[in-house]
Structure 1
Amino acid sequence: MADFLAGGAAQDSELVRAAQAGDAACLGLLLARHQAGMRAVALAVLGHSQDAEDAVQEAALIALRSIGDVKDPNAVGPWLRMVVRNVCRAQLRKKSPVPMAEPMTAVTSERLDGLSDPAELLEQHALRDWVWSALEDLSPNLRLVTMLRYFTDARSYDDIATLCATPVGTVRSRLHKARSQLVDVLLGSADQAHDDATALRAAHRELAEETLESGRRGKLLSALSGRWSPEADVIWPTSKRTGIDYLQTAYDHNESIGVRQQLLNVVASREVVIWETALLSPPDDPFHCPPGCLWVQSLDRGRVTKLRLYHPRAL
């Protein structure tokens, strides 16, 4: 935390400037200081409901990413309450068949959709390790739905429900619980040391590229050796289950008919790693395959023990 905080309570403007410079502890303190006011706004707009709590949590995540948009550091309190109010209005628009007018705000509707904000937050190098450390504190079920919802293109409730083999209602419940816990963990861990999330993601991206290239050369199993359990369970988009040996057979078949995989994105935690790839159909058969594939890998002590392959409805 910035040195000036040692002398006593800091002004909001000091905390904002420090947070904009990448001080996660100051950002956490700001959110904690204004949490009551943020909740009051949500209750006034949505009433005493679960939606109000969800709105406060969503607004806190948006504020984490958007603190750099605050032009007047002395007005951060009103800015935070504005973010909550617009999240609440976005919720009401989703429920109402009559469209409501767009609020005039620096926080655009794109930011308020709640889908890409955490992913964009990771690009701010001063904060991404803090966020990923908080994600690691979630239970496996909560961590997986959060990673899928906020960091991949399999973000619809239906996609997540299929990938997690659970009803849509359970997905909604887990996401609510994950958001609540994530905000609490972030506020409680701002001044702690965090693992290097960038290094972990970079290492897994390198492994993904090496593995896919090995598959193109017919050496996929060699690339998996040592990093995957020989007994790893592979679940295909059709729900067929095989061992890892069949991966090479499927890869060889795709290569023989001209289907290629191009790595788009890698999302990595200690126990879950997700590869997103584009599936490139042969030029003479442009609709041969779905547009993309997710490789959702479960790890135990660094080794893949389960792989779920899935074609999202929209990439």
Structure 2
Amino acid sequence: MVSGGTDAELTRSAQGGDVGALGVLLQRHEAGMRVVALSLLGFGPDVDDVVQDAVLVALRRIGDVRDPAAVGPWLRMIVRNACRSRLRSARTLVPIESLPLASTEPTPEQVLDRHASRDWIWRAIEELPAPIRMAVMLRHFSTGVTSYQEIAAVCGVPVGTIRSRLSHGRAKLAEALRGTASAAHGDAAALTEASRREGLETLAEAERGRFAGVLAERWSPDVALITGGQRIVGHDFLLRGMEGDLDAGVHQRLRHVVASQEIVLWETELINPPDDPEHCPPASIWLMSLEKGMVRELRLYHPARIAAAA
């Protein structure tokens, strides 16, 4: 990495997988990003949140920069869009990663570069305390639970606690990114793919009537299920719940998986029988904490059903 290089040189290095080069760019342009946030939001905690979010967006989307010399305006555009989004609707929380940015279809080389960056950020996420890591994973990598209210419901803590955890988590990740990111890291894509296969196998075994075997092999005998404010220990309740749903004609389809070393998220679609379409909510979130590869805690959450238009 060339720490004293031009913006264009550093951007090309970052697009080639050098996260440290991106860190230098962020150090160089952080003041300008903060000025944009202050000019639109005024002084307050939202300024730090927006700048920290922009750092994570830059990590994920540096490959979208078409003019490497114009990376400064690109970073400020991310901040500006995020600020305007917050100002448009104080009651609607929009994940910054969903903000529209110019993009092109990635080449195979860009896909590999982004995988390397993703591996690096997962290494940083693994170093966060478990409660903060859980909130960050839900907010930035889940598809079904992203609002502060939903994350608070899943984690069983007040919304203010989630705001604090996310702010702390973003700050730690942004700090790590702005530093040197040259340490070795694991293959996050492989970890998630292994969890996806395990999720598919778990649901398939349940359909075959062999869910008890899965629990015995992969779940701690003292696993705690947390749902609806209750904490229930052991396999029996989990087994009865799965078998009861299947007996009622309810099936689950795995839609999305996010996995770290100790926290795993499975998002499933619940498919109700035609004669009882309201039997279960439309989706389920399995948020699992692992210990030595075994599930020791499951937080089960059902996102609210979207009301049909009148």
Report Cα offsets for 1:180-222 as digits up to 9, x if no partner.
Answer: 1111122224222111111111111111111111111111121
Query: In structure 1, how many angstroms separate the alpha carbons of the residues matched to 2:42 and 2:150?
Result: 30
- Aligned partners of 1:111 and 1:167: how far apart in 2? 32
1:272 shift after superposition: 0.9
Residue of structure 2 in register with 1:50 after alignment:
45
Q: CA deviation at 1:109?
A: 3.9
Aligned match of 2:107: none
Alignment correspondent of 1:175? 166
Q: Give 1:51's aligned amino acid.
A: D
The answer on whether the counterparts of 1:130 and 1:186 sit within 8 Å (CA) in structure 2 is no
One-letter identity of the residue aligned with 1:149: R
Conservation of the 8 A alpha-carbon contact between 1:215 and 1:248: no
- 1:39-78 aligned within 5 A: 39-78=34-73
Q: Deviations over 1:45-65 (max 9, x none)?
A: 323321111111111122222
Q: Which among 295, 305, 308 is matched to residue 304 of structure 1?
A: 295
Q: How far apart, CA to CA, are the structure 2 residues paired with 1:68 and 1:249?
A: 48
Q: Which residue number in structure 1 is paired with residue 126 of structure 2?
A: 136
- 1:166 partnered with 2:157: yes
- Does the 8 A contact of 1:210 with 1:223 survive in 2? no
The separation in 1 between residues aligned to 2:259 and 2:98, in whole angstroms, is 28
1:229 matched to 2:224? The reply is: no
Worse-superposed segment, 268-277 or 188-197: 188-197
Cα gap change, 1:42 to 1:125, in 2 (>3 Å): same
Equivalent residue in structure 2 for 1:83, among 75, 78, 85: 78
| Matched residue, 1:28 | 23
SS of alignment partner, residue 89 of structure 2: helix
Structure 2 match to 1:37: 32
Q: When the two structures are aligned, how many residues end up with a matched partner? A: 293
Change (3 A) 1:185 1:288: same
- Paired with 2:80 and 2:11, the residues of 1 have a C-alpha distance of 20
Deviations 1:254-295 (A, max 9, x none): 112211011111111111111111100002222221001111
Contact 2:33 2:79 in 1 (8 A): yes
Does the CA contact (< 8 Å) of 2:224 and 2:298 recur in 1? yes
**CA separation in 2, counterparts of 1:248 and 1:198?**
30
Give the TM-score of the pair, scaled to structure 1: 0.85
The change in CA–CA distance for 1:269 and 1:108 in structure 2 (over 3 A counts) is closer
Give the gaps of 5 or more residues in structure 2: 103-110
Other structure's SS at 1:233 match: strand
Residue type matched to 1:83 in 2?
Answer: I
- Higher deviation after alignment, 275-284 or 147-156: 147-156
In the TM superposition, 1:239-254 aligns within 5 A as: 239=230, 241-254=232-245
Look up the equivalent residue of 2:126 and give its one-letter code. Answer: E
Select 1:278's aligned residue among 261, 269, 283. Answer: 269
- Are the equivalent residues in 2 in contact too, given 1:122–1:131 (CA < 8 A)? no
CA separation in 1, counterparts of 2:100 and 2:174? 21
Kindly report the root-mean-square deviation, in angstroms, between the aligned alpha carbons of the 2 structures: 2.5
Change (3 A) 1:314 1:23: farther
Structure 1 runs not aligned, ≥5 long: 98-106, 113-120
Contact 1:122 1:128 in 2 (8 A): no
TM-score (norm 2): 0.86
2: CA distance, partners of 1:96 / 1:229: 40
Residue 238 of structure 1 and its aligned partner are, at CA, apart by: 6.5
Deviation at 1:148, TM superposition (A): 1.1
8 A contact 1:216–1:251 mirrored in 2:
no
Distance change >3 Å, CA 223–CA 276, structure 1 → 2? same
Instruction: Tell me, in whole angstroms, the C-alpha distance in 1 between the residues paired with 2:176 and 2:217.
Output: 34
Residue 196 (1) aligns with residue 191 (2): no
* Pairs within 5 Å for 1:99-118: 109-110=99-100
